[in-house]
Amino acid sequence: MKNTDHVLDLILATNRLKVTPRTGWAVKGVPDFESVADHSHGVALIALLLTDLIDADFDREKVLSMAVMHDLPESVTGDLSLGGSRLLPAGAKAAAEKAAMAELFKGHDFGPRWQAIWQEFEDLTSPEARLVRDADRIDLLVQALVYERTTGNLQLAEFWTFAPVDSFHYAASRSLISGLLERRPER
């Protein structure tokens, strides 16, 4: 295989996602919170489910590629909480993540193609990108519900406010969010 060492460098760099904490949970005092890789797995599974729940012809390879890659930049930048991100200058987070992707894929023949798929997700320029964005936010709220139920931490309203039902692109996504809201503990 061509560039074995270079590919292994990419695999090892992105492996950091397994130990990169989702900092929003830590800030809210959730013990034993998920990693970015845990979240990415949830997004991929939900995205795959949505391709069957939504009556449209999605490119599944693109959907799964976007879901797996959507947070790869965080292997370089780390995860920024909602609270932390809002304090950055406009466009700073997006620029840092784009630079991180360029760094990760530099010198790889597939790099431009992978970066284009990731950018399509970031720009929400296709039905697949919008589906994965919905999956990303559904996974966030599934995890919020799990933490509310298992830890008794009811200080997670910020996450629910971040992703209201009407902000989701697809009816199936909105239905899932409505169902999650019905399952929330009394607040």
- Structure confidence by residue, pLDDT tens digits, 130-187: 999 999 999 999 999 999 999 988 789 889 988 999 999 999 999 999 999 999 977 6
Which one, of 171, 181, 84, lies nearest residue 134 by Cα? 171
Quick one: pLDDT at residue 187?
A: 63
Task: Convert the pLDDT of each residue in 100-140 to its tens digit.
Answer: 999 999 999 999 999 999 999 999 999 999 999 999 999 99
1 falls in which pLDDT band (50, 70, 90)? low
Q: Tell me the mean pLDDT in the region 73-99.
A: 87
Q: Does domain 4-183 have CATH number 3.30.460.10?
A: no
pTM for the model stands at 0.94
Domains in the chain: boundaries: 4-183
Strand partners, 35: 21
| Exposure class string for 174-183: b at 16+ Cβ within 10 A, else e | bebbeebeee
Residue 39 has pLDDT above 90, yes or no: yes
Which one, of 132, 110, 137, 15, lies nearest residue 72 by Cα? 15
Q: Provide the residue type at 48 as one letter.
A: L
Residue position matching structure tokens 């406009």: 90
